Copies of this chain bind each other. A is one copy, B any other.
Amino acid sequence: MRGVVLHAPRDVRVEQRDDPTIVEPTDALIRLSATCVCGSDLWPYRGADPVTRPSPMGHEYAGIVTEVGTGVTTIRPGQFVIGSFFASDNTCEICRAGYQTSCIHRVGIGGLGAQAEYLRVPLADGTLVATPDVPSDDLIPGFLAASDVLGTGWFAAVAADVRPGRTVAVVGDGAVGLLGVLAARQLGAERIIAMSRHEPRQKLALEFGATDIVTERGDEGVARIKDLTGGLGAHSVIEAVGTQQSMMQAIHATRPGGHVGFVGVTHDVALPGDELFFSHVHLHGGPAPVRRFLPELIDLIWHRRIDPGKVFDLELPLDDAAEGYRAMDERRAIKTLLRP
């Protein structure tokens, strides 16, 4: 099959890879209807994460089951399924508490490479959720978004304790931040302040439910959030970048007793204990347990109550993956969908 392989920073190639096969009896194979490039894929693409050998890329997927192992009992060939970037058994104590990305048997999908024609999904019964029927083509981008960026934005909003009546600020205008806006709206937030200085992203934030746009960053951005919240800060802040500046911006923009939900994959971040102590914020985040939210998200998409697929503003054939990476790296595209 054809699949995306990163050979070195900025050296993305689509090349022939071995077709995946059932390895464990709990595996399923799927034929991808669509896959995509993640903001976190840009870390190794830019050389910020080391690339020591040719690496299959991609961890977001939706598609049709083609084969299941002998131990798979609920997932069947022919179903259209979505899964998260970590396979999980969904039965251990950690999964049952809703933290499937820390499942005691978790397997990272990234290492398997979902930017490809086919994918082996471990722990299929625990990992995959099927749609009620095979969806029409226009719904596929939305379901693909549920695999990571929607689920991650949703977790960030839940981790930030978004509720009806709350004021929410969103740090980061990538796909996750934008879908954090959508999640906050669905969870009933009264006011949603999107922090963005990019016009197309501002526009999408407003479409997804943002009520205010703040273009300032850092201390100035914090001051604007304070201005908009009677000097107190937001009740809930979604952090969807993962840098020292964005984390501190999120913590400082939150009122005492408020909540920060952080889902940007942290790089070289060290949180000063004294600032955290005196900020009085709640801090929670990490790799989003997307599996927890998949049934609800699939239902919302299936019934066309939300349209998270709008974050894909570039669609390319899988063979043009290199251009998809370039467009996101240069911020010409918010998120690239790839059709195998």
Residues on A close to B: CB < 8 A?
93-94, 97-99, 101-102, 104, 230-232, 242, 244, 247, 255-257, 262, 265-274, 276-287
Contact = CB atoms under 8 A, between A and B. Distances in A.
Contacts of A284: 281-283
A273 B271 contact: yes
Contacts of A285: 276-277
A53 B72 CA distance: 72
A283 B286 contact: no
20 contacts: A94-B232, A94-B255, A99-B257, A262-B277, A265-B277, A266-B274, A266-B276, A269-B274, A270-B270, A270-B272, A276-B285, A276-B286, A277-B285, A277-B287, A278-B286, A279-B286, A281-B284, A282-B284, A283-B283, A283-B284
A280 B274 contact: no
Nearest to A98: B257
B286 A99 contact: no
Contacts of A270: 270-273
A269 B272 contact: yes
Contacts of A267: 273-274
Name the 8 nearest CB pairs between A and B, nearest first.
Answer: A269-B273, A266-B273, A102-B256, A99-B257, A270-B270, A271-B271, A283-B283, A282-B284
A244 B262 CA distance: 21
Contacts of A279: 286
Given A102-B280, A267-B274, 9 more contacts: A94-B255, A94-B257, A99-B280, A266-B274, A268-B273, A270-B273, A276-B283, A276-B286, A277-B287
